[in-house]
Structure formats: C-alpha cells, structure tokens
Structure 1
C-alpha cells in the first residue's frame, strides 16, 4: 500500500472514538440486556477487525507497518484501538456494567454504516 494523504473514512472514524470509561454504580440484574449489548459490540468489533485486515493488510510489507505515514500503519493503530474497546467490552460484561456496555454500543454503532 502506498502512502496516502487521507486515510479511509473508517480509519478516521475509529481514530475519533473516545473510549467511554464508566464507573459501575450497581451491577445490572438484567442478564439478557447485558449479553445482548455485549454480543452486539463484539459483533461490530469482530466485523470491523476482519474487514480492516482483509481490505488493507493482505499484501503489506513489514516496512509499511512501521512507517507512520503509511496506510498500513494507520490500520494497525485502528486495530489497536478496536482491541482496547474489545477489552473494555469484556470488562463491562464481567462487572455487569450495563451502562458501560450501552456507551460502547453508542460509539460503535456508527461504524456499521462506514
């Protein structure tokens, strides 16, 4: 992949995400709602990760990964952010923090239509 002046819209959207950090007031008793939000978030994250890897990283040279101006590097930065969100999604499920799961869902949903 060659250097690009502008990153694809999906990379810009991922880069702009502020990962919500939500303290757990009291654990939710609604396991169905929590599991549903967790699965929705996981599905978006898994699909975005697969799409990024498939669309941008199939024929990447090692040097491109470390070139901060390359699209491959930008993709790896986005994948790292998705991994951070994935960890928060798992943590919020473990803590039974439905508010945290909902906030993650709110920031992830716009990625579906990119």
Structure 2
C-alpha cells in the first residue's frame, strides 16, 4: 500500500502537484484506503471474470458480421448502379426530384395535367 511519491529530480512544479495530490489523498483514514483498495480489486476481478468474456464474444460476433456487411454493401452498390428510382424513394425538392436510394438528383419532368 505504501507508495514512493517523491521523485529524486522533481521540478518545483512537479513538487507542488505532488503535494496537492497528497493533501487531497490524505483526507481518508488508513482503513478507508484499505477498504477502497479491496473494492477496487473486487471491481477489477469482476470485470475480468464477467465483463471481458462477454466483450470478447461480442467482438467475435462482430468479426463474423464483417463479411456479411461487405456482401450487403456489394449488393447495394450493384442496385445503385442500376437504380430504377422507385416511386417510394423519390423526394421532390424544388425543381428536382431526388432518389433517396442512390442519391441521384433528377430534373423534374414537365407533367401535363391529366383530364
């Protein structure tokens, strides 16, 4: 639990910083520091035993998704290159019509009134 805090060749600024940290850290009693260190060790153990395996599983699952995402991206790129600009993907913006799927800006055609 004891820590060597003073550096042999510390500057005046480093000394001031160390003294400030010591004054803040010394407000707790020795038993409080021991209890807190025990809690910290328990937290680290909990993370190591419970959290890390789940995170590792998530990373493995994400790694299996990468090729699937690449395939989806390839399929989407093919669809963008041959986009038919479906009705439900079109948005009118002033004098233009924008396809939300391929982001192409299309000139709005002249429409004759249907009678």
Same fold (TM > 0.5): no
Q: Pick the TM interval, shorter chain.
A: under 0.3
Q: What TM-score does the superposition give when structure 2 sets the normalisation length?
A: 0.27
Which has the higher relative contact order, 1 or 2, with Cα contacts under 8 A spaced 6 or more apart?
Answer: 1
More strand by share: 2
More helix by share: 1
Q: What TM-score does the superposition give when structure 1 sets the normalisation length?
A: 0.27
